Structure 1
Amino acid sequence: MNWNKLTEAGQIQEIKALSAEKPVLIFKHSTRCSISSMSLDRLTRKWTDIDNEKLTPYFLDLIARRDLSDLVAREFGVPHESPQVLLIKNGEAIYDNSHFGISYADLMGKI
């Protein structure tokens, strides 16, 4: 999986612009949470190279950048959770889920 790291507030506008051409996935990960690690593993095990052509994945370490995680929540109108995935299309969150609700099949079914 070719993660783009979400580390700066200005990237949110870039993500909105990118999502007009191809959906963007944001994975908010807590490095202190075993459920977050399991959810990330379940997602990445099923990921294929072809999936990189279908959507652009971003990874947000919310322990290091909680401020940015809060900004993502405000910008896309989705309450903060951890772990959490958001699927952005045309500048808006069209899908979000958290914890064991994070599903490769569900994500791919939304694009």
Structure 2
Amino acid sequence: MNKIETIEQFEQLLTREPRVFFLKHSLTCPISAHAYREMDRFLREHPREKGYFLAVQESRELSNYIARKFGIQHESPQAFLFINQRPVWYDSHYQITADTLAKI
């Protein structure tokens, strides 16, 4: 997964990629570490999919921006699937699994 740190990078990503998975990841939360591993496993098993993440502690401005822009309450960990610049799916915590992501 590639790390995104700024609002500008995030907006460029959405413009550039028609379909992208995105994870809000906490560097200190064991549940978030589990979600990160699950998303990483999913992306390795599905190499055509694109995946990016932000570290909440390092990119709080971007995390809050995503919540405001899309009207989705912030949670961490929180995974999204964006298609054509819009979130078509999102979930959090233990619902973020490789199997769940593969079904979307």
Evaluate the alpha carbon distance shift between residue 83 and residue 57 of structure 1 in structure 2; reply closer, same or farther with a 3 A threshold. Answer: same
Aligned residue identity for 1:102: I
Separation of aligned partners in 1, 2:91 and 2:68: 16
Shift of 1:46: 4.4
SS in 2 for 1:78: coil
C-alpha contact (below 8 Å) 2:42/2:102 kept by paired residues: no
Evaluate the alpha carbon distance shift between residue 36 and residue 15 of structure 1 in structure 2; reply closer, same or farther with a 3 A threshold. Answer: same
5+ unaligned residues in a row in structure 2: which ranges?
A: none
C-alpha root-mean-square deviation of aligned residues, in Å?
Answer: 1.6
Aligned residue identity for 2:77: P
Identity %: 31
Give the count of matched residue pairs.
104
Shift of 1:19: 3.5
Evaluate the alpha carbon distance shift between residue 11 and residue 83 of structure 1 in structure 2; reply closer, same or farther with a 3 A threshold. Answer: same
Does residue 42 of the first structure (1) align with residue 38 of the second (2)?
yes
Separation of aligned partners in 2, 1:94 and 1:40: 20
Separation of aligned partners in 1, 2:2 and 2:40: 14
Shift of 1:106: 2.0
Separation of aligned partners in 1, 2:86 and 2:43: 23
Identify the residue that residue 4 of structure 1 maps to in structure 2: 2
Identify the residue that residue 79 of structure 2 maps to in structure 1: 85
Identify the residue that residue 97 of structure 2 maps to in structure 1: 103
Evaluate the alpha carbon distance shift between residue 18 and residue 105 of structure 1 in structure 2; reply closer, same or farther with a 3 A threshold. Answer: farther
Does residue 58 of the first structure (1) align with residue 52 of the second (2)?
yes
5+ unaligned residues in a row in structure 1: which ranges?
A: none
Shift of 1:74: 1.7
C-alpha contact (below 8 Å) 1:26/1:87 kept by paired residues: yes
TM-score by length of 1: 0.82
SS in 2 for 1:58: strand
SS in 2 for 1:27: strand
Separation of aligned partners in 1, 2:84 and 2:42: 25
